[in-house]
Structure 1
């Protein structure tokens, strides 16, 4: 497994076009590999996420992949192609994954698509459901907390003196070390043809927080397979950093 960081040159027109369309950026990421990414749920997959830096206008593209990517095409269109050094950095991710130990604490960042399934009002319990985005912070954090055990971690709790309502476990995230930001509704078309029905709508949010590893093997799977839906469109990638 490999972890790659690609600084995006947001002054370039093509870079802004890619950042404005998860569909285009998904295609550009896939073109970094000579063979099509595996679609087997049991195999590690290509995951990506864009981190925007508030105030500076800069952005970084992160990619986790089972093989080393070649981002020459992205460097030419959305990077700094005249630099002597490659415009991206790739790390051997397996070495880091093997260091993860149950009980350790880490800071984390996750871009995700928190959803739930609902039925139309007035329909029976046997009627089909549809996928609907969580739009409030309370429900978005609740979505994350519902998945933490299976994903191999637990979000750390705040000390009582840092909670807005000490001792009140409302499940909304105030009692946990997690914030939600960049809550962004996205709508784009997979194809350019007029009248196409391939419109995609999703809500992407970013979670920043602190976690403790409860199952190192399960967390390794989360880091290499992703968490939640819409992984092709920049959701699902969690990364870790030392706790400050």
Structure 2
């Protein structure tokens, strides 16, 4: 497994084209693996190519890719990077082996995390109608999606609770029946976006042929409950729309606490 980071040059027209459609960016990411054909489908339960965009500042947009094989992002450097300064030693992206990090995960370990996901649920508007997949639109419901106990168990982690002295609201504060809401958990919704883009090779003049989805970026802190399950989560993703930049969970060390 490999973890790759690529900074997009926001001044390039190619970058704007890639950012305009997750479908286009997904195709560019998959083109980084010459042995993967466009028609290939990952085997059930196998590691897959996951990617995510992080916007740290207006002109700092980072593409992260987790993949079973080492990618070649030369075409992305030419379209959306800094090709004039690329060298064999510094090709314009950074790729690091990921497996050793995965192997070090242990039960009880605590990490900061980031996840961009597509939180959805199914609803039935009228009796007798089939259930329809619908996006969660409010932060309280989006957080509830990730805080669902069954979802966390399937992912191999639990999201940490804040200590009482770090809560703004009183302990146990709820909101419309959602006991997780307020300051109880180490979880924030950093970014919510509603996306609509066309499908390649189709008439996209009508909404019927367009893909629409809501993406949410979560930041928070978690504890490992099942290392093997979490390893699968980190290499297979969480939730839907993984081809469109959703599902990639990444971990980072927690800040060190000051010594008393």
Q: TM-score, normalised by structure 2?
A: 0.89
Is 1:46 aligned to 2:49, yes or no? yes
Distance 1:181 1:240 in 2: 16
Match of residue 223, structure 1, among 234, 248, 259 = 234
Task: Structure 1 unaligned segments of length 5 or more: list them.
Answer: none
1:171 to 168, 171, 180: 180
Which residue does 1:118 correspond to in 2? 123
- CA offset at residue 150 of structure 1? 1.4
Deviation at 1:172, TM superposition (A): 2.2
Preserved CA contact (<8 Å) 2:28 2:76? yes
Distance 2:47 2:209 in 1: 27
Q: C-alpha separation between the residues in 2 aligned to 1:8 and 1:176?
A: 33
Tell me the CA shift for residue 38 of structure 1.
4.0
Any stretches of 5+ residues in structure 2 without a counterpart?
A: 174-178, 256-260
Which residue number corresponds to residue 22 of structure 2? 22
Structure-2 residue corresponding to 1:87:
92
TM-superposed deviation, 1:174: 2.3
Report the more deviating stretch, 171-180 or 207-216: 171-180
- Structure 1 distance, partners of 2:8, 2:134, is 31
Select between 194-203 and 222-231 the one with higher mean Cα deviation: 194-203
Q: State the partner residue of 1:188.
A: 197
| Alignment root-mean-square deviation, CA | 1.4
Shift of 1:173: 5.3
The 3 A distance-change label for structure 1 pair 193 and 117 is: same
Q: Deviations over 1:70-123 (max 9, x none)?
A: 100000000011122200011111011001001010000000000000011x32
TM-score calculated relative to the size of structure 1: 0.94
1:19 deviation in Å?
1.2
SS of the counterpart of 2:104?
Answer: coil
For 1:173 and 1:87, locate their aligned partners in 2 and report how far apart those are by CA, in whole Å: 42
